[in-house]
Amino acid sequence: MGAIELLSDLVSIPSTFPNEQKMGAYCRGKLTELGFSVRQFELPGSRPVLVASRGENPSLAFFGHMDTVPVYGSWDTDPYELVEKEGKLYGLGAGDMKGGIAAFLSALERSDAPAMVVLTSDEENNSAGSHLLSSHSDLFQGIKLMVSAEPAEHGNQEGSILLGRRGRAVYEVKVEGVSSHAAHLDRGVNAIEKAAELVCSLNKFPSKKNTEIGDQELFVREIFGANTSLSLPESATFQIDMHLVTGQTDESERSRLASFLRDVYGDCRVSVFDRGLPYNMPFYTSPENPEVHALRAVVHEVVGKASWSHGESVADDNVMAQMCPLISYGPVARNYHAANEYVDRQSILNCENIYSRLLSVIN
């Protein structure tokens, strides 16, 4: 079965998180047909996370997530039917990231080389599937390179190999004031006003710039403070959403934020906002890695060009890259997370060819 036919099947299977069960069953069946031994882990609700292996001691792994976002906006076609127009294949998840999955499944059908395939649920939510696998990191000890088939980061740059991604963490800042009757403002400290001062000071926070994976950036995503009586509010909170770069962790940046904000107003506390799962940390895979070098040669051979890039935001890639070397190379796609999502037809066929050749090079 070719990559386009496989993609048609995958798009027809609704797999909006948290409903990846049918997609998991299809992929498990396909992998079994291809001679893989499939181990299934599960998130609550019987949501599948698959780790499949073929042959002895595979060095190369392919990664994909089975879930999609919901149908957003007004589509010109049925989101669950693959429709081709002028070389563009439209369908929900066609780009993010069923096109890439179809390409590597088809490549694996053309080859009997040893390989591993990892397919997760929940990437479009909190990456619960990949975080589940972090408890089984021993499964990936022999992997020299994991290729994530996420779509090309900038949508139209075929040949662009993504070496790393920024990470992410969310921080909660609690600001304490001093309550007083509003008729005596000089006797109190308005916590909301102090929180506002802290928010405005963030444009001077010493963010790390020009790293291999871009700039550290942050924004305030929530602020709250109130008092229902005729009194100054004695507390306020706000949250900071931050993209992390190379060498940073959620705790290292919590410490830096706390020091910076306390210099502005001492009576504040900064904590990592508990979302119930770890945050996805930044990663960078060196282009000097021999397997990455081999991939670059194959991409250049098939596409006629090859370049390095980095991801602006987080994905399951961030979690998997903590367990083995990982790069991202997938087909060209547009409008993912929006109406009329599509993937470029020729780029899927090119990816299928690249993955197939890579199977003969890395092992």
- The 10s digit of each residue's pLDDT in 247-271 is 999 999 999 999 999 999 999 999 9
Give Cα separations from 57 to 23, 107, 363 (angstroms).
27, 19, 9
pLDDT, position 318 = 98
Please say if the pLDDT value at position 126 is more than 60.
yes
> What pLDDT sits at residue 228?
82
**Residue 1 banded pLDDT, cuts 50, 70, 90:** confident
pLDDT of residue 315: 96
Nearest-angstrom CA–CA distance, 242 and 240: 6
Report how far apart the first and last C-alpha atoms of the chain are (Å, whole number).
Answer: 24
pLDDT confidence bin for 156, thresholds 50/70/90? low
Written as six digits, the tokens of 258 are 């706390």
Q: For 137, phi and psi rounded to 5 degrees?
A: -65, -20
Kindly tell me the burial class for residue 359, based on how many C-beta atoms sit within 10 Å of its own C-beta (0-12, 13-18, 19 or more).
Answer: buried
Enter the CATH code of domain 167-272: 3.30.70.360
Phi-psi region of 255 (alpha: psi -120 to 50; beta: other; left: phi over 0): alpha
**Fold of domain 3-165+282-361:** Aminopeptidase (3.40.630)
In the numeric block, which tokens belong to residue 176?
A: 């304490």
- Per-domain residue ranges of the chain: 3-165+282-361, 167-272
Q: Is the pTM of this model over 0.75?
A: yes
Return the percentage of the chain with pLDDT > 90, whole number: 95
| Model pLDDT, residue 255 | 98
Dist. CA 50–CA 69, nearest whole Å: 20
**Which of 57-66, 111-120, 155-164 is predicted least confidently?**
155-164
